[in-house]
Structure 1
């Protein structure tokens, strides 16, 4: 177990390391592409300034480009600028340097002390529009003749240059996901192996007990003088019969669940009176059961055998998992046209973290007290399967040390003549959902 935990820890650390390295690589690649964009924009705008200078028949003797922010540049021209020519120069220079992205520009007018002749040029549609006053570009007091240009989609343009990095990141994420899935399968398989081992241990112990008792009883019955002791003969014959029935019951429960997993429950639905079943159970498990039957109609269209076995399983659990004198209450009531019945006990209770898991196959709460109780971990799983097959609802309310209440919500039905009906588990579930 410690080796598996070490493997899981190392795997998680490896995944975190891979993701961290990938994030650092992508951030560095983006920062590099961003610097390359700014350098290309700087050179392209310097070329535009040179073109404007040649248009005005003079030569610039210094760098004309100043970057005011990440996406905004000021270009000094030292001479008046023709708007039509400027846009042509900008468009040509940006394309020459592979800066195919949207931009907006404005020319400073010293007479009005404002940025004017602004336009937004979208490379996708090559549409442009006049800049409104609210979109005036910032001025730069150090120059008299200049224009400003902004690249509003710079981040998107730079990200578009990282296609290879994006695909590599997707590939890494897929590898991590597959690795995580594989790890989860391994952990699940290990858990199933442990559950299977526990089940084999439990079933071996449970079957060994009646087999040993039967063997001892058979040895006694084979002794020469046993016929001379009729009372002893009857006692061992009774033990032999009881243990044989117990062994047969355990084998049948395992075979029945194995069959239900393969083919689903086969329900022989008939009209059943729940109050009669509860009265029989109260007589069988007396004196630990109290009846509180307040429902006016307790008739169900259900499989009598599975319903009776479900009721007996819940009562048997209440008796086994009780560390004091057992008190079990069987209760029924009518509510909004539904028959609600429950089994309450004063047993050891079930912690909230285990209340969903107790209905899983082979699951047993990991405490010394419960594992001292005989069982396969199939009782509540069987109860849930029967409830689902009938299309009913099952709820559990429990607190450690305060006992448990299993509540089943069914639809009460009046007795009427109906043909016996066989439903598989899948068919019954379909009908319950359709309703």
Structure 2
């Protein structure tokens, strides 16, 4: 899948998710509003019927306007124009609510005109698990009425929420659909990244193999000349070139097979006492020809009191060589490399620092990934498969050590290996 297709899939996917969520929120709010209106209408009709029964019981007339006044979302005031018997009122309320399916817990209060106060009546519960939401300031009064009662539905919000159960269920399904859709988008992005890494790896591998194969081809052409047997020194030289290039190819193939196949994450170590200072000096001397060829300088600063550590000498050698090799690759002309070992409170640190181009922040966390190389476009002047730091990290972890990267674009890179005291 090309880049434009992936971009369009992402855009359409995000727009679809936003559209679906917007529609769902709209319908939930609309359904909630409709449920609220229906519940309010049922409560108003039920309280109106209670008012009529009280008027009939007291042989009184109801006001011409509706006797039911909604003071707030869960508090109603009912004007009855007559005395109110609490026991009769409670009986009428329970009977009327039952008949209309209003199984809502409620509490009521009756206005006492002599004291000008609302007198609390009782709390009527239809369910045992209802959460009580008491009135904050008691039962509010209505200045225009003389004979009235107030009723507070303590479980109204919970009942309204329960009535939306089917909507919540579908919302949960929608959330799951959105989650899996987002996950599929993430998978697509990961596959795109893997495809780019694979493409870059193949291009790099092609360029890595092209040079030694060209050298082998040239050497073979020279050796096939009939008169080469008369020039033993020249024959020996080209034989050495062939051996060198074959060894180089074998080394590259082995590295790809080892790191690309099993990943190097479960490397068996042969731990021995290794003189770290001596090993570093030996490796720098081993790379002296290359360093001199690139007109570079490698400075060793050994400030640690620790000379010997328990490590696999072969793998530790490869790790240090990888770090110095990377420092030389990315330092540009006239590289200046520093290899430093120092004591820290929690052990020792081995650092390899260069003054090169540095690594951009967006790539810093990925330099240890398998096959990853900092993008350089179609420029292949920097050799490698993107396996060196991946191998280095896995060897460090196998030893129980830690490695971290400190890099600023334009100011260089510092690779720091931390060896804890208990691992020395």
Match of 1:379 among 370, 385, 388: 388
Native 8 Å contact 1:301 1:413 kept in 2: no
Distance 2:13 2:277 in 1: 57
In the TM superposition, what is the alpha-carbon distance from 1:249 to its structure 2 partner?
1.4
Q: Cα 1:210–1:313, aligned 2, differ >3 Å: closer, same or farther?
A: same
Deviation of 1:34 (Å): 0.4
Cα separation, 1, equivalents of 2:180 and 2:325: 45
Deviations 1:400-429 (A, max 9, x none): 1111110001135899xxxxxxxxxxxxxx
CA distance in 2, matches of 1:259, 1:357: 19
Q: Which runs of 4+ in 1 moved over 6 A?
A: none
Q: Which residue in 1 is equivalent to 2:96?
A: 93
Cα distance, 1:370–1:339 mapped onto 2, change above 3 Å: farther
Q: What is the aligned-residue RMSD (CA, Å)?
A: 2.3
Maintained 8 Å contact 1:297/1:412 = no
SS in 2 for 1:235: helix
Residue 195 of structure 1: aligned partner:
197
Q: Distance in 2 between matches of 1:231 and 1:191?
A: 51
Residue in structure 1 matched with residue 365 of structure 2 by the alignment: 356
- Secondary structure, in 3 states, of the residue corresponding to 1:141? coil
Secondary structure of 1:362 counterpart: coil
SS of structure 2 residue aligned to 1:68: strand
SS of the equivalent of 2:221 reads helix
SS at match of 2:323: helix
Q: Which of residues 358, 366, 376 is equivalent to 1:367?
A: 376
Q: Within 5 A, what are the aligned runs for 1:321-400? A: 321-336=330-345, 338-368=347-377, 371-400=380-409
Are the structure 2 counterparts of residues 61 and 115 from structure 1 closer, same or farther at C-alpha, using a change threshold of 3 Å?
closer
Give the TM-score taking structure 2 as reference length.
0.91
On the 8 A contact 2:303/2:342 being kept in 1, the answer is yes
Equivalent residue for 1:307?
Answer: 316
Q: Structure 1 stretch 180-189 or stretch 382-391: which is displaced more?
A: 180-189
Cα shift readout 1:24-80 (whole Å, capped 9, x = no counterpart): 010000000000110011001011111211221245363311112222211011111
Q: Is the Cα–Cα contact under 8 Å of residues 60 and 81 in structure 2 kept in the other structure? A: no
1:179 to 178, 181, 189: 181
2 CA distance for matches of 1:136 and 1:3? 63
Closer/same/farther in 2, CA of residues 371 and 88 from structure 1, 3 Å limit: farther
Measured after TM superposition, the shift of residue 135 of structure 1 is 4.1
Q: Is 2:68 the partner of 1:65?
A: yes
SS at match of 2:108: strand
CA distance 1:414–1:126, change in 2 (3 Å)? closer
Q: Within 5 Å, which residues of 2 pair with 1:5-404?
A: 5-60=7-62, 62=64, 63-125=66-128, 135-261=137-263, 264-286=266-288, 287=292, 288-336=297-345, 338-368=347-377, 371-404=380-413
Q: Which residue does the alignment assign to 1:421?
A: none
Contact 2:342 2:348 survives alignment (8 Å): yes
Moved more, 90-99 or 369-378: 369-378
**Contact 1:299–1:412 (CA under 8 A) maintained in structure 2:** no
After TM superposition, give the deviation of residue 181 of structure 1 in Å.
1.2
Q: Please say if residues 106 and 115 of structure 1, whose CA atoms lie closer than 8 Å, have aligned partners that are also in contact.
A: yes
Instruction: Please state whether the residue corresponding to 1:404 is helix, strand or coil.
Output: strand
The TM-score with structure 1 as length reference comes to 0.89
Q: Are the aligned partners of 2:401 and 2:423 in contact in 1 as well (CA < 8 Å)?
A: no
Shift of 1:126: 9.8
Q: How far apart are the structure 1 equivalents of 2:238 and 2:129? A: 102
Cα separation, 2, equivalents of 1:307 and 1:39: 81
SS of aligned partner of 1:106: strand
Query: Hey, what's the Cα distance between the residues in 1 that align with 2:138 and 2:314?
Result: 85
> Secondary structure of the equivalent of 1:329?
strand
CA, structure 1 residues 223+64, in 2 after alignment: closer, same or farther (shift >3 Å)? same
The answer as to 2:415 corresponding to 1:406 is yes
CA displacement at 1:203 relative to structure 2: 1.1
Residues 269 and 260 of structure 1: CA distance in aligned 2, closer, same or farther (over 3 Å): farther
Instruction: Work out the CA distance in 2 between the residues paired with 1:357 and 1:219.
Output: 43
Deviation at 1:125, TM superposition (A): 3.4
* Counterpart secondary structure, 1:267: coil
Q: How many residues are treated as equivalent by the alignment?
A: 412
